[in-house]
Structure 1
Amino acid sequence: MIKRLAIYFKEMYPLIPRFFLAIIYFFEIYFVLLLNVGENSFSIGPQEWVGVWTIFTFLMALRIADDFKDYEHDLRLFPERALPSGRVTKRDLAIALATMVTITVLLNFWWMNNIGWFLFLFAYGTLMSLWFFSKAKIQKSLPLALVTHNPVMMVMNIYIITFVCYKYHLPLISLPTVLLAFTMYFPSLIWEISRKIRAPKDETEYVTYSRLFTYQKATRFVQTLTLVDIVTNFILLWAISKIGVLVLLVNVIWINVQFQRFIADPNQFSIKTKVERYTYITETTMVLSVIAHLISQGLN
């Protein structure tokens, strides 16, 4: 079983990169919130690492749940993947999932201060894995699947935000907390839509937003989301790094040029790859700006 799981995680959820991503994700929200409210005294301990572990295992649980949910679909369209190909079994994944979730639950009850939000997060994830008891309706509707499943990323953001607020005695609802909940949610929403936008010649039986709404309308919708997203980033980063804001400005101008090029001729490149590059640059800028600010504070 260990060898089969190693194959699965290598292909579907690389453990070291994803744990590193969980660290970045957790502490980006953590420090951006604290720096925006003027909190300069940080105390990082076991709770923070339990939070990182929770993000890591929750995203793993979503990955495994998706493979269970889409098993019949993947047998037909993606037979080379680890589960439909038989290189890992459902039993293997069920044991791994049960083990990781049990450890995460115990750690949260022992260390964390926001148990209610933790339970809400995993309850939402469980309902997603069960198609909110409406599989027949949701599975055949791409927009309905989006509005029911994608907000889980917002719930994950709130899990981190509430931990920080309770620990440092901050108000749960404020401009920084609301902006953070959205600015860390938009990238997942933008990516989820853009990965299902294709040029007409590339369409298959796989349902995409470009098939449903035309690639022009789908692209313009993502473009609008990108503009809203960058405004939230500007506001949150302004007090941390003016240089970072300038980098974000150049980046958003660049991606909007790509959107217009794709609308004019969808055959020259995949918009998904451009959106991924834009997202990486945006999030890297946010992280590096926070690190630079913390270093400068330490030197002062």
Structure 2
Amino acid sequence: MLSRLATYYKEMYPIIPRFLLAVIMFFEIYFVLLLNQGVHTFDIGIQEFVGIFTIFVFLMILRIADDFKDYETDRRLFPERALPSGRVKKSDLAIALGVVVAISVLLNILFMNNIGWFLFLYIYGTLMSFWFFQKDKIQNSLPMALVTHNPVMMVLNIYTISFVCYKYQLPLLSWTTVLLAFTMYFPSLIWEISRKIRAPKDETAYVTYSKLFGYQRVTRFVQFLTLLDILTNIALLWGISKLGVLVLVVNVLWMTIQFQQYIKDPTRFSIKERVERYTYITETTMVVAVALYLLIGRF
């Protein structure tokens, strides 16, 4: 079983990169929130590790749950993947999932101050795995799946935000927390839509947003979301790094050009790859700007 799980994690959920992603997601919210609230003295300990571990585990839950839900579809369209190919068994993943979830629940009960939001996160995730008991309606509707499933990333953000607010006695509902919840949510929404945009000649039996609504219309919608995303980032970074804000502006201008080029000729490149590059630059800018602020102050 262990060798099969090693194969699965290597291909579908690489441990080290995903753990680093959890670290970045947690501390980006953590420090951006505190710095925008004027808090410059930090108390980092076991709770922060539990928060990071919870994000890491929850992203793993989403990955495995998707593989379970899409098993029959993957057998037809992606038979080379670890689960549909038979190189890992459903029972292997179920055992792994049970162990990490149990550890996560125990750690949150013992150490965290936002157990209500933790339970809400896991209840939402559980309902997702059962298609909110509306499988026929949701599974057969890509927009419905997006509306019901993608907001879980917002709930994950609120889990971290609530922990920081409770720990440092900050208001849970404020301009900063609302901006943070959305600025950390937009990348997942933008990526989820853009990965299902294809040029007309590349469409297959796989259902995409471009097939449903036309690639131009969907691309313009993603462009709109990108503008909202960058505005929330700029608002949060304004008091931390003006240089970082400049990088964000240049990045979104570059991305705007990419959108326009793709709308004119979708065969030139994959919009998903350009969106990923935009996201990496945006998130890296936020993280680096915060790190430099903590080291040398406002710049």
- TM-score category (smaller protein): over 0.9
**What residue is the counterpart of 2:22 in the other structure?**
22
**What residue is the counterpart of 1:187 in the other structure?**
187
**What residue is the counterpart of 1:130 in the other structure?**
130
Structure 1 runs not aligned, ≥5 long:
none
**What residue is the counterpart of 1:205 in the other structure?**
205
Residues 37-93 of structure 1, C-alpha deviation per residue, up to 9 Å, x if partnerless? Answer: 000010100000000000000000110010000000100000000000000000000
Query: Within the alignment, does 1:139 sit opposite 2:131 as a pair?
Result: no
**What residue is the counterpart of 1:3 in the other structure?**
3
Paired amino acid for 1:49 = F
The alpha carbon displacement at 1:297 in A equals 4.0
Output aligned runs, 1:263-278, within 5 Å: 263-278=263-278
Query: Within the alignment, does 1:109 sit opposite 2:109 as a pair?
Result: yes
SS state at 2:162 partner: helix
Paired amino acid for 2:111 = W
Output aligned runs, 1:31-46, within 5 Å: 31-46=31-46
Query: Within the alignment, does 1:69 sit opposite 2:89 as a pair?
Result: no
For the residues of structure 1 that align with 2:277 and 2:236, how far apart are their CA atoms? 21
SS state at 2:39 partner: coil
How many residues are treated as equivalent by the alignment? 298
Query: Within the alignment, does 1:288 sit opposite 2:281 as a pair?
Result: no
Query: Within the alignment, does 1:159 sit opposite 2:139 as a pair?
Result: no
**What residue is the counterpart of 1:259 in the other structure?**
259
The alpha carbon displacement at 1:195 in A equals 0.3
TM-score, length-scaled by structure 1? 0.99
Paired amino acid for 1:55 = I
The alpha carbon displacement at 1:197 in A equals 0.3
Paired amino acid for 1:176 = T
Percent identity over paired residues: 74
TM-score, length-scaled by structure 2? 0.99
The alpha carbon displacement at 1:153 in A equals 0.2
The alpha carbon displacement at 1:296 in A equals 1.0
**After the TM superposition, which segments of 4 or more aligned residues of structure 1 sit over 4 Å from their partners?**
none
**What residue is the counterpart of 1:87 in the other structure?**
87
Q: What do you get for the CA RMSD once the two structures are aligned? A: 0.7
**What residue is the counterpart of 2:231 in the other structure?**
231
For the residues of structure 2 that align with 1:73 and 1:205, how far apart are their CA atoms? 11
SS state at 1:40 partner: coil
Residues 159-197 of structure 1, C-alpha deviation per residue, up to 9 Å, x if partnerless? Answer: 000000000000000000000000000000000000000
SS state at 1:57 partner: helix
SS state at 2:226 partner: helix
Structure 2 runs not aligned, ≥5 long:
none
